[in-house]
Structure 1
């Protein structure tokens, strides 16, 4: 099985209370089961989110069945995913260079050892 990596970034609102709440939603075993199922069903085999200050970095390892457009379409049709995404907007904000409403932005790889 070949694995491909995608990396994204998003900002949280710069508020320590909100950041703590966001981290609690993402603590081990706390994400809604419907969300983790939708992630796995899309072909994502591993997902990690890192935080520094209020900037987040997401690393996804995906299998050959993953397609970002297909994942977006699946998410748009899933009421529980939409509920989660709307809730997460209470904590998240666009990166300064994002389009209005654009959340997680893809990162360009500029170096590899």
Structure 2
């Protein structure tokens, strides 16, 4: 990515159910995410987003530009009915990490090593 971007990494768990995990992956397969969701991601200053999965643990990597602000993104999402509909749907598949606060999904990861 460009030198003018910042990387954020997050983690969240899926419910440990192969059927639900398969459905979640289908929602996130290329071209399947709702266009309103991908637009809201881009509109927030996120220039690249990738989600990786092992077992039922997910890792999300976001590259953001200088316009990105996590609090502003949260406010934008709270005021976007389509994003709220998507988030409600995703709770069917997701569950908070064991140490997450109630209702908290994606937890910011601490960087502990860099080469």
Q: Which residue of 2 aligns with 1:30?
A: 32
Deviation of 1:103 after TM superposition, in Å, equals 0.4
1:59-105 CA distance string (max 9 Å, x none):
00000000000000000000000000000000000100001110000
| Partner of residue 46, structure 1 | 48
2:76 partner SS: helix
Candidates 105, 109, 115, aligned match of 1:107: 109
> How far does residue 22 in structure 1 lie from its aligned partner after superposition?
0.1
TM-score (normalised: structure 1): 0.99
Cα RMSD for the two superposed structures = 0.6
Q: 1:1-113 counterparts in 2 under 5 A?
A: 2-113=4-115
Runs ≥4 residues deviating over 2 A: none
Gaps of 5+ in 1: none
Number of residue equivalences: 113
CA-to-aligned-CA distance 1:20-57 (integer Å, 9 cap, x gap): 00000000000000000000000000000000000000
